[in-house]
Amino acid sequence: MAEFPPLSAEALNERRLLMERSRPGRTGASLPACDVPQSPLPDAGLLRDDLDLPEVSEGEVVRYFTNLSQLNFSVDTNFYPLGSCTMKYNPKVNEAMAALPGFAGLHPHQPARQAQGALEVLHRLQSLLAEVTGMAATSLVPLAGAQGELAGVLTIRAALEARGQGHRRKMLIPDTAHGTNPATAAMCGFSVVSIPSTPEGNIDLDAVRAQADGDLAGVMFTQPTTLGLFDRNAVELCRIVHEAGGLVYGDGANMNALLGRAKMGPLGFDVVHLNLHKTFSTPHGGGGPGAGPICASAELAPFIPGPIAVRDGNGAYELAMPEHSIGRLGGAQGNFGVLIRAFTYISELGREGMLDISGNAVLNANYLKARLRALFDLPYERGVMHEVVFSARKRKGATALNISKRLLDNGFHAPTMYFPLVVPEALMIEPTETESKETLDAFIEVLERIDAEAAADPDFLAHAPHETPASRMNEAQAARRPVLRWSREEA
């Protein structure tokens, strides 16, 4: 294993925490003196004694966080083929538009007449997303994909109650689903029934039929699936669930493959959530903020969360709660700053652009599949959509984990590993449409080189990465004796 040079004092210094940098008397903010007659402060018993925050200058703060940023991989600096996360390039103009003072400075509770421009953006985005998904109505309220799931499943629950079917408790979820699906179903009071996949990677319809009874509330289904496949049984799945009186929730995590190619509504979905931070290119921000709007059929539209933007007879916009709304899921009307970025993105690409996105995303994934299949097992022998899932199991001494860690040494972010659970040693690779053929070829070349390393020196691979800002972390230590913050006692 490669030896690391001892860390320089400067490098160690770079990682010191704010509280460790603090020196009494320093500040990073320039604040005014009080220009109004002073009122007496309230009784000391109500006041805080001491505020333990750092004391650092502006220059120190800027250098600290600039240096910290450079410890990150990001889409702006690296190819980031993280499956199911759609790490596409995030156009800079979107940032500029979200920062316009007329948007960024607008308070969410201003009267509608003072926010007509913002409300028009919301209203038009609602329509655009409804058109893309082939649905009747959109709620932009959900603050992330998982909250979109919550909104969608609560909407299903409310619609079932309105049908007099509120007793239905069973929610079917394929074994390939993201963990958020069962977690969401449980939060909404449903019991989860896991449905297996067929050897071809489609949902097992016999297993669905066996559950299609009077207790069936619905199914949560991701199309394309997390295997990167367009599930050919999905239309029939929707038919079976509807016939049994259930409703179909669509997880739109993988919508990038379907833009302009198919609409979720006509495919049989009743409600679907979209991840604007995936499909519509709003930046992931190191783990949020996202936005997870839901689009619903005409039957479910009255139940979606609010407030949503509506237009009156005079063409003026205002916020309103849908007639039988499940209510509010946050303090305002959604992550407007994220919604703006998605709106500008759709405006930049337009109708033809949607087809360019899905076409190039799917082509890139199929190209990686064709070029990499010599290295890995391909669990499903068919064309893929926006991503390809391989199994690393036939590589002796090279687990999915070790291959992924060695990719980091080569400047590529790791694919999604060990998911979906039905594929052993899974490597889930999603290139997106914003990567060039040269980048994909370089990625392929590196994987070929890693393959050779695995044969020649498996131990070297097992200790990768060797050239990243940090080496493998002791995660067991972190979990056994959790240290979750700096503390004065310890310091």
Partner 1 sequence: MADTGLRSPFIPNTTEDRAAMLAAVGAKSVEELFADIPAEHRHPHLALPEALDEMALRREMEALAARNLAPGASASFLGAGVYHHFCPAAVAPLVTRGEFLTSYTPYQPEVSQGTLQGSYEFQTLTAQLFGMEVSNAGMYDGASALAEAALMACRITGHARVAVTGTVNPRYVETVRAYSAPQGIEVYTVDASAPALEPETAALLAQYPNYLGVIEDAQTQSDAAHAAGALFCLSADPVAQALFKPAGDFGADIATGEGQALGVPPSYGGPYVGIFTCKREHIRQLPGRIVGRTTDAQGRTGYVLTLQPREQHIRRQHATSNICTSTALVGLWATIYMALMGKQGLRRVAELCYQKAHYAAARIGELPGYFLPVEGTFFQEFVVSCPAAPERVNRTLEASGIVGGMDVSDRVPHGMLVCVNETHTKADIDLLVDALKGVF
Partner 2 sequence: MDLPADRRYSKEHEWALHQPDGTVLVGITEFAQHELGDVVYVELPKAGAQVAQFKQMGEVESVKAVSELYSPLSGEVVEVNTTLKDSPELVNESPYAKGWLVRVKPANPAELDALMDAAAYASLTA
Binding region for partner 2 (CB under 8 A): 475-476, 479-481
Question: C-beta of 211: minimal distance to partner 1 in Å?
Answer: 16
Using the rule CB under 8 A, give the single segment among 131-139, 204-212, 244-252, 390-398 that binds partner 1: 131-139
Spatial distance between the Cα atoms of 392 and 227, rounded to a whole number of angstroms: 15
Site for partner 1 in 82-121 (CB under 8 A): 82, 85, 87-91, 93, 95-111, 114-118, 120-121
Point out which span in 80-88, 210-218, 308-316, 454-462 binds partner 1 (CB under 8 A). Answer: 80-88
226 binds, among partner 2, partner 1, none (CB under 5 to 8 A by kind): none
- CA dist., res. 175 & res. 154, Å (int): 22
Q: 191 by DSSP, 3-state: which?
A: strand
* 68 interacts with partner 1 by CB under 8 A: yes
Q: Cβ of residue 193: shortest distance to partner 2, in angstroms?
A: 19
Between 314 and 474, name the residue whose CB sits nearer to partner 1. 474
Biggest CA-to-CA distance, the chain: 78
State the DSSP H helix or E strand holding residue 139, giving kind and residue range, or none if neither: strand 137-139
Stretch that binds partner 1, among 47-55, 209-217, 391-399, 448-456 (CB under 8 A): 47-55
Which of 168, 170, 369, 395 touches partner 1 (CB under 8 A)? 369
CB 26 within 8 A of CB 58: no
**Residue 28 sits in the site that holds partner 1 (CB under 8 A):** yes
Binding mask 239-278 for partner 1 (x = CB under 8 A): -------------------x-xxxx--xx-----------
d(CA 216, CA 202): 20
Q: How many residues does the chain have?
A: 491
Least distance CB 421 / partner 2 (angstroms): 11
In angstroms, rounded to a whole number, what is the distance separating the alpha carbons of residues 470 and 476?
A: 16
Among 196, 214, 350, 397, binds partner 1 (CB under 8 A): 350
Residue 196, contacted partner among partner 2, partner 1, none, CB below 5-8 A by kind:
none
Asked if residues 429 and 81 have their Cβ atoms less than 8 Å apart, the reply is yes
Cβ atoms of residues 273 and 250 within 8 Å = yes
29 binds partner 1 (CB under 8 A): yes
CB-based contacts of 169, cutoff 8 Å, min separation 6: 189, 190, 191, 215, 217
**Token match 């994220």: residue?**
338
Nearer to partner 2, 314 or 474 (CB): 474
Half-sphere exposure of 266 (CA within 13 A, CB side): 9
Smallest gap, in angstroms, from Cβ of residue 422 to partner 2? 16
Measured from the CB atom, the residue of 86 and 180 that comes closer to partner 2 is: 180
In the list partner 2, partner 1, none, the entry touching 406 (Cβ below 5 to 8 angstroms by class) is: none
> Closest distance between partner 2 and the C-beta of residue 366, in Å?
31
Of the candidate residues 332, 422, 442, 462, the single one contacting partner 1 (CB under 8 A): 332
Residues numbered 275 to 314 that lie near partner 1 (CB under 8 A) are 281, 283-291, 305
Q: Which of 126, 138, 184, 254 binds partner 1 (CB under 8 A)?
A: 184
Q: Which helix (H) or strand (E) holds 220?
A: strand 216-222
Residue 460 interacts with, from partner 1, partner 2, none (CB under 5-8 Å by kind): none
Rg of the chain in Å (alpha carbons) = 25
Q: What is the DSSP letter of 79?
A: B
Q: How far is CA 447 from CA 43, 380, 451, in A?
A: 67, 20, 6
38 is written with which tokens?
């002073």
Q: Which of 413, 425, 428, 461 is the binder for partner 1 (CB under 8 A)? A: 413
Q: What are phi and psi of 170, to 5 degrees?
A: -90, 125
Q: Which of 365, 367, 417 is nearest to 392 (CA)?
A: 417
Please give the residues from 214 up to 233 whose contact with partner 1 meets the rule CB under 8 A. Answer: 229-230, 232
Among positions 174, 252, 420, 465, the unique one binding partner 1 when judged by CB under 8 A: 465
Asked whether position 392 contacts partner 1 by CB under 8 A, the answer is no
Instruction: Round to whole Å and give the CA distance between 368 and 160.
Output: 43
Which candidate, 259, 246, 258, places its Cα nearest to that of 220?
A: 246
